[in-house]
Amino acid sequence: MVNSYKIAIIGGTGKVGRHIAARALEKGYQVRMLVRNPEKLTFRDSRVEIVEGNVQNSEDIRKLLKDCQIVINTFGQPIKEKQIYSSVTENILEVMTDLQIDRYISVTGGSLTINGDKKSILNRVGAKLFEIIYSNMMIDKKKEWLILNNNKRIKWTLIRLPFIVDGTEIGSIKENLTDMPGTKITNQDIATFIINQIENLKYVQKAPFISN
């Protein structure tokens, strides 16, 4: 099967990124991946176009996104480093607007709480602990959410995740818009869910929780 869509993947060397690339190829999509250190790339396939660059560099992002129709961002960083999620997201959206790309799929933690959530007591306590222990990260994650929520042109989806575990795909994914339905999910199930969102517009401009 051949699909005309070309997908730009940011965060391809992470726990989920390599599986996203593999799922995309299985579906017949073309794949281009931004990689800061190509030698760290554990997933290798001749069909994947590699762009060496830095996610904070606008020109590298522009080179990655040129001629793509879909942008998938699973960029992650060490918690103790200066948080750049919001600035990276803002940069990506600006380049997408310039290049007239309108489909953006990204991930964040289930500790992010937004208007309309109806989290259980346990999940509210967990989110509050994250805000206390990882205050800088959560401030930046909320800023990232505001940037997305205020963007009405791009068809974005922000997927909120529980604990991620390495493992084979289970195939059963629970979805909820107001509360986390479980405590964990495999990286392969995340990849499958993300690829399914490319043409499924159910969660456009929404932030669903998913789990196994």
- 2 — pLDDT class (breaks 50, 70, 90): low
Answer whether 187's CB lies under 8 Å from 158's CB: no
Question: Cα 152 vs. chain centroid, distance in angstroms?
Answer: 18
Average pLDDT over residues 170-186: 96
Instruction: Collapse the DSSP code of 115 into the 3-class scheme (helix H, G, I; strand E, B; otherwise coil) and give the result.
Output: coil
Average pLDDT over residues 188-206: 96
pLDDT value of position 76:
83
- Interatomic CA distance for residues 131 and 125, integer angstroms: 10
Judged against a pLDDT cut of 80, whether residue 102 lies above it is answered with yes
Q: What is the pTM of this model?
A: 0.95
Question: Cα 73 vs. chain centroid, distance in angstroms?
Answer: 4
- 64 — pLDDT class (breaks 50, 70, 90): very high
- 134 — pLDDT class (breaks 50, 70, 90): very high
Judged against a pLDDT cut of 80, whether residue 198 lies above it is answered with yes
Exposed, middle or buried: residue 99 (CB in 10 Å: 0-12, 13-18, 19+)? middle
Q: Which CATH number fits domain 6-211: 3.10.129.10, 3.40.50.280, 3.30.1450.10, 3.40.50.720?
A: 3.40.50.720
Mean pLDDT of the chain: 93
- Interatomic CA distance for residues 208 and 212, integer angstroms: 14
Q: For the segment 10-55, what is each residue's pLDDT rounded down to a tens digit? A: 987 778 988 999 999 999 999 999 998 877 777 778 899 999 999 9
Judged against a pLDDT cut of 60, whether residue 161 lies above it is answered with yes
Average pLDDT over residues 141-162: 97
pLDDT value of position 50:
93
